[in-house]
Amino acid sequence: MSKFLALLFRNRLAALGGVVIAVIFVLALITPLLPLQSPDDTDTAHRFLLPFSGGHLLGTDQLGRDLLSRLLWGTRLSLAVGIAAALAAGFVGSAVGIVAGYFGGRTDNVIMRGVDMLMAFPYILLALAIVAALGPGLMNALIAVAAVNVPFFARNIRGITVGLAGREFVDAARLSGKGHIRILLTELLPNVLPVIVVAMSTTVGWMILETAGLSFLGLGAQPPQADLGGMLGEARSAMISSPHTSVVPGVMIFLIVMSINLLGDGVRDALDPRLRSGALSRPKPATDVRRAGPVPEATGALLEVQALETQFHVGRRIYRAVNGVSLAVRPGECLGVIGESGSGKSVTALSVMGLVASPPGVITGGAVRYKGDDLVGAPYGKLRSLRGDRVAYIFQDPLSTLHPLYRIGDQLAEAITAHHGVGGREARQRALKLLRDVRIPNPESRIDNYPHEMSGGMRQRVGIAMALANDPDVIIADEPTTALDVTVQAQILSLLDDLRRDRGLAIVFITHDFGVVGQLCDRVAVMYAGQIVEEGPTQAILDAPAHPYTARLIACVPELGGGRRALAAIPGLPPSVDDLPPGCAFAPRCARAQEGCTAAPIDMREGAVAGTPGRAVRCINPEEAIA
C-alpha cells in the first residue's frame, strides 16, 4: 500500500490532482463552520455585484445572493450527490455483477443480457427517461445517474468474479459446507472490494459531472437549492451581462473533474505494472546511438560488426546485452551465431540495421560496416535505404512478425516498392515469383491470403520471400526455424542453403541449436553473456571444442542412433547482464574454472586448435590447447 502511494505521488500531476481535490473536499466539509452569509439570503438591491465588491469576495448573483457562499454550499451538494450516486451505482452494480459471476450459467446469461440492453442506450436518454418518469428533482437526478452507471459496475465486477469463482479457495469454501450467501460475502466480496473502490473513485468525477448536467438542464436541484450545475443553469440567462456568475460555478466543476481525472490516471498507472517498468514506450525508427571511444577501422569484409556494444538502459540499471562483439561475413558465406536465450545474439543481429528497440536500447560503442561504411549513427535515411534492400532480415515466429491485416502479396510487394519505383502490377508479378522461389504451392491463390490463413511453415516461407525481395547481399536470419517442427525446419534450411549457393548470399544465422548450425554454417561464433567466447570453422569446433561452454553446449544436443554420449544439461543459469564479473562470465558454471578466471577481462586468443587454423577462444584454461 505504501509502495502504491509512493508510486502515486511520484507522478507529479496525480499528486497535484490529489492536493486540489483534497482542498476542495476540506472546504466542502467545513463550509457550515465558515463565517459565510447564508446562501439563500437575497438582496435585490445588490444584484450582480462584481467580485471583490461590497463585501462579497466573488460578487453576487441575480438575486443578490453571495456567490462565494453559494459556491461552497453548491460544491458541498455536488460532491455529496456525486459520491452518493457513485456509492449507489457501485453497490447495486457490484451486487448484480458478483451474483452473475458467481452463479454463472443461466442466471449470468439473463443478467448480462439485461446489462447489455441498458448499455445499448446513449446514457443520457436513459437518465432523461428516468427523470421524466419520476419528475425533476435532485433526488431523482441522483437515482437516474446512479442507475445509468449500474451496468458499468456490473460488467467489470462480473468479469473479476468469474475469474475468482473458479479458484480453489471458493471450491474449498463450498466443500466445507458454506452457503452461497456466506461464500459471496466472506470469500468473494473481500477479493473484489479493492476493484470496486478503485472503480468508484475513478467514476465519481463522472457522476458529479452528470448530476451537474441534469441540474443545469433544470431537471436536478430545484431553486432555491442549487448544486454547481444548478448555479450554472440559473446564471445562463444573465451570462452576457454578468459572466462572472457563470464562470464561478463552471470553473469549480472543471477543477473538481480535472483533479479527479488526474488522480484517477495516477491510480491507474500505479496499479498497472507494465507502465511501472516503462515497457509501454514505443521503439523509435532507429536505435539510439551514444558512442564513446574510438571507431574501429574498416577491414574490407562485406558486413562486419566491430567491438559492438549495445546496452539497455532501464531506470538506473544498465544491461550490457552486447559487450564488444566482432563478426564478419563474406559473400556466399554462412556464419552461425549460437548461444542460449539472453546471450545477446538477437540483439547483435538487430543492432546491425539499428532495429534494437529504443528506448531502452542504446548502441554505446563499436561499429557496424557494410562495404566499409559505418552504419552506427548513420542518418535514418541511409539506414532505411539499406534495410531490406541490401541487408534483409528473417525473423522468428512469422505469425507475429507478419502484419495481420495485410495480404501477404501486399506485404511482399511493399518490400519491393519501398526501394524501387515499380508499379503495382509489376510488384505483384515479382511477389508471385518470390512465392514460387520459396516453393509455396499455388502461389496465385496464396498471394491474396492473410497470414492467419497460412500454416507456420508457409508463413516462414513468406518471411524468407520478403527477405529475398530485393536480392540483398546479406540476410540476417534470427532463429527462423525455432517455431517450426523438424520436417518443415529441414525444408527451410535446405531452401536457405540453395539460395545462398544460387545467389551468393551472405547469411548470418542466429540460433541456439548446434544441429542446425552443423547443417548450414561454414563458420560459427559462440556467444555467452554478450561476448563471443569461441569462433572458428563449424566442423572443427564440433569435432574439438576449445571453450568449456562450447563443449557443454554441444553435449546438450541429443544424438540420433548410437547414443553413446551422455546428455548433459549445463548446471546453473546464464548471468544477468546488468551485473557481470570482470573476467569470464561462464566461470561460475564451469568445471574447468580456476583462480584468475574472474580476475580480469580475458582476450580472444587466435591460433590453431587440434591442427585446424583460423580458430579463436576466450579462455585461459581451454579444453583443447591453442597453438
Partner 1 sequence: MGRYILRRLISAIPVLLGITVIVFLIMAMIPGNPAQAILGAYATPDNVARINKSLGLDKPLWDRYFIWLWNMLHGDFGRSYSLNRPVIDEVMDRLSATAILAGVSWVVASLLGILAGVISAARQYGLADKLITFVVLIGISIPSFFLGMMMILFFAVRLQWLPASGMYEIYGGGGLGDLARHITMPAIALSVVATGVIARLSRSAMLEVLRQDYIRTARAKGVNERRVIMGHALRAAMVSVIPVLGLQAGFVLSGAVYIEIVFQWPGIGQMLVNAILQRDILLVQGGVVIVAALYVIFNILVDVAQSLLDPRIKT
Residues 377-396, interacting with partner 1 (CB under 8 A): 380, 384-389, 392-393, 395
Is the Cβ of residue 116 or residue 498 nearer to partner 1 in the bound state? 116
Which of residues 9 and 406 has its CB atom nearest to partner 1 in the complex?
Answer: 406
Query: Which of 36, 87, 128, 173 is in the footprint of partner 1 by CB under 8 A?
Result: 128
Amino acid in the structure at residue 232 = L
DSSP one-letter code for 601: -
Of 62-101, which residues contact partner 1 (CB under 8 A)? none
Among 88, 253, 465, 525, which residue interacts with partner 1 (rule: CB under 8 A)? 253
Is residue 239 a contact partner of residue 260, using CB atoms and an 8 Å limit? no
For position 361 contacting partner 1 by CB under 8 A, the verdict is: no
When the beta carbons of 196 and 212 are compared against partner 1, the nearer one is 212
Of 150 and 524, which CB lies nearer to partner 1 in the complex structure? 150
Q: Amino acid letter at 576?
A: S
Counting Cα atoms < 13 Å in the Cβ hemisphere of 201 gives 16
Phi-psi region of 571 (alpha: psi -120 to 50; beta: other; left: phi over 0): beta
CA distance to 80, 410, 411, 432, 506, per residue, from 444 (Å): 68, 13, 15, 7, 30
C-alpha 364/C-alpha 525 separation (Å) is 22
**3-class state of residue 213 by DSSP:** helix
The residues in 269-308 that bind partner 1, with binding defined as CB under 8 A, are 279-283, 285
Residue length, the chain?
A: 627
357: contact with partner 1 by CB under 8 A = yes
**Considering the rule CB under 8 A, would residue 261 count as an interface residue with partner 1?**
yes
Pick the closer one to partner 1 by CB: 28 or 126: 126
**Nearer to partner 1 by C-beta: 118 or 542?**
118
Rounded to an integer, what distance in angstroms lies between the CA atom of residue 439 and that of residue 597? 50
- Residues 507-566 binding partner 1 (CB under 8 A) are none
User: What's the CA gap between 509 and 492, in Å, rounded?
Assistant: 13
Give the position of cell 419520476: 134
- For partner 1, how many residues bind (rule: CB under 8 A)? 78
Q: Which of 466, 475, 499, 541 binds partner 1 (CB under 8 A)?
A: 466
State how far the Cα of 63 lies from the Cα of 44, in Å rounded to an integer.
5
User: What is the per-residue burial (b if ≥16 Cβ within 10 Å, else e) of 334-353?
Assistant: bbbbbbbebbbbbbbbbbbb
Asked if 465 interacts with partner 1 (CB under 8 A), we say no
Report the nearest approach of partner 1 to the CB of residue 20 (Å). 11
Q: In whole angstroms, how close is the CB of 412 to partner 1 at the nearest point?
A: 10
* Minimum CB distance to partner 1 smaller for 192 or for 257: 257
Name which position in 1, 175, 405, 560 contacts partner 1 (CB under 8 A): 405
Cell of 177: 459446507
CA–CA gap between residue 217 and residue 132 (Å, rounded): 13
Q: In the bound complex, what is the minimum distance in angstroms from residue 417's beta carbon to partner 1? A: 9
Q: Which stretch binds partner 1 (CB under 8 A): 50-58, 61-69, 129-137, 175-183?
A: 129-137
Q: Report how far Cα 535 is from the mean position of its chain's Cα atoms.
A: 36
Least distance in angstroms from the C-beta of 463 to partner 1: 8
Q: Is residue 129 a contact point for partner 1 (CB under 8 A)?
A: yes
Query: Is 250 an interacting residue with respect to partner 1 (CB under 8 A)?
Result: yes
Among residues 118, 238, 295, 318, the one that binds partner 1 under rule CB under 8 A: 118
Q: Which residues does residue 511 pair with via DSSP β-bridges, in sequence order? A: 338
Counting contacts by CB under 8 A, is residue 315 touching partner 1? no
Q: Of the listed pieces 247-255, 313-321, 546-554, 557-565, which binds partner 1 according to CB under 8 A? A: 247-255
Of the candidates 268, 147, 143, 256, the residue with the CA atom closest to the CA atom of residue 199: 268
